[in-house]
Amino acid sequence: MGDKTVVTVTVNGEEHEALIEPRLLLVHLIRESLHLTGTHIGCDTSSCGTCTVLLDGRPVKSCTVLAVQANGRAVSTVEGLEGPDGLHPVQEGFKEEHGLQCGYCTPGMMMTSVALLAENPDPSEQEIREAISGNLCRCTGYVNIVKAVQYAAAKEGVTA
Amino acid sequence: MLPSSFAYVAPTTVDEAVQALAAGGGDAKVVAGGQSLLPMMKLRLAAPGTLVDINGIAGLDVLEEADGMLRIGALVRHGDLERSALVRDRYPIIHDAARHIADPLIRNRGTFCGSIAHGDPAGDWATVASALNAELHAVGPDGPAVHSARDFQTGMFETRLGLDQVLVEARIPQPVAGQGSAYLKVERKVGDYAAAAVGVVVVLDGDTVTEAGIGLTNVGPLTIDAAAAAASLVGRSIDDAAALEEAGRLAMEASDPPSDLRGPAEYKQDLVRVLTKRALRTAGARARGEQA
């Protein structure tokens, strides 16, 4: 029971192989096996969303996905956002619009926002609020987070 | 929090999944989206010896109309239903419910069939499936088996699904002329279970109700098929306020909610009464092609 198994997961475009127990959660694979600690663990009960990563492009709570279920699939984390030209527009938006204070929810907020803008490049305020409704912030408040996403949408609209 | 250790099996066919369940000897669980099962395993409320992951089985993501039925495969996520134009245009009760299940992130993983198989009376889909009179198609060692969504749940987290069966697909009758439906849910906040929710389906001939189905969520130990409330509407006008009031009262009488953090029992019962009437008005408007 619980024999270790080899998984191959592409994280931020780079293929990783790991020998893991089937009960290992995806967030632990990301943080402890791959040492990508930008993805945070918050509530650990699938409530807060700070562990949000993209699994094959869709945002999911990585505390509630088994690492073995990511075998052969693509994962994107906050570390993959910055490109050769600097910050991702969503990152820049959070910086410019003061979309964070303590920063704990920020990686999850940004991954959810990136997925939203990929699907809906020009979201309304209501659509932004609905999209981030599974991500909790306990200090900045949502006003500036919404502004940060709007900033990114405007910026991406210009560059696209 | 980590789950207890388990053996992990990732079959690529339904037959392999059935074999893996049999090999697990009653201590194996199917995982699809895992958004209810994994939290329970992390809290050690569940500790299956074997986890049979069906995510690698091709074809279980089917979402299409065929042979007079809407087929919802075991890997169709809440978010797939939320985003489906077919569902939005033809099955408003499903679209309504999909938009308010858990939160958008969980909706990208959790599945329609998994929610029903989980057997939680707080699950929205069991109510929707009951109101729509869905067939639940399973496969076990003895071959296929079909369960009715209306009496599928037998207890808290217990259903008619055999321990050696995989629920592969739900099939929902395609809407007939004059059909309308709606799902109304009151929740304290995004991500919470319903304080109460009501799903209704009506078929109208002119203004007269010829068929109805009403399901109730999280207001008793089981998902509730409010059959008496639905039957009371047949032959009456959807515009008859007294008929709607009676259906609301009968739905309320079918409910048996506990008092808890989501409110006292009396409040939840009154929610059932009011939500039933509102959902019927919305479904009636939709049946007549009006905006609602």
Q: Which residue segment(s) compose the domain that B45 sits in? A: 7-53
Place of tokens 């920063």: A103
Residue B4 burial (10 A CB sphere; 0-12, 13-18, 19+): middle
Chain B: residue whose CA lies nearest to A61: B105
Question: Are B187 and B92 in the same domain?
Answer: no
Out of A3, A22, A59, the one facing B108 most closely (by C-beta) is A59
Domain membership of residue B195 (yes or no) is yes
The ipTM is 0.95
On chain B, the residues whose CB falls within 8 A of the CB of A24 are: 2
Q: What is the spatial distance between Cα B215 and Cα B279, in angstroms, rounded to a whole number?
A: 11
B167 and B189 part of one domain: no
Mark whether A61 and A99 lie in a shared domain: no
Choosing from B141, B156, B173, the residue where a domain stops is B173
Query: pLDDT by residue for chain A (160 residues), tens digit each?
Result: 568 999 999 999 999 999 999 999 999 999 999 999 999 999 999 999 999 999 999 999 999 999 999 999 999 999 999 999 999 999 999 999 999 999 999 999 999 999 999 999 999 999 999 999 999 999 988 999 999 999 999 998 766 5
Q: Chain-wide mean pLDDT for chain B?
A: 97
- Is B35 within 8 Å of chain A by CB? yes
CA nearest neighbour of B31 among B42, B17, B44, B45: B17
Size of interface A-B (CB pairs under 8 A): 89
Any chain A CB within 8 A of the CB of B190? yes
SS in 3 state form for A86-145?
Answer: ECCHHHHHHHHCCCCCCCCCHHHHHHHHHHHHHHCCCCCHHHHHHHCCCCCCCCCCHHHH
> Does the CB of A99 have a partner CB in chain B at under 8 Å?
no
Q: Which one of B154, B173, B192 terminates a domain?
A: B173
Domain assignment present for B58: no
CA–CA distance, B183 with B167 (Å, rounded to integer): 24
Question: Is B13 among the domain residues?
Answer: yes
Number of domains composing chain A = 2
Nearest CA to B106 among B35, B37, B43? B35
Nearest to B32 by CA among B61, B1, B65, B3: B61
pLDDT band at B1 (very low <50, low <70, confident <90, very high): confident
CATH at residue B124: 3.30.465.10
Are B46 and B109 members of one domain? no
B292 at interface of A, judged by CB pairs closer than 8 A: no
**Shared domain check, B43 and B75:** no
CA A25/CA A8 separation, integer angstroms: 15
- Contact: B39, A21; criterion CB under 8 Å: no
Number of domains in chain B: 3
pLDDT per position as a tens digit, B53-93: 999 999 999 999 999 999 999 999 999 999 999 999 999 99
Query: Are B35 and A5 inside 8 Å of each other by CB?
Result: no
Distance of CA B232 to the CA centre of its chain: 23
| Closest residue in A to B99 (Cα–Cα) | A130
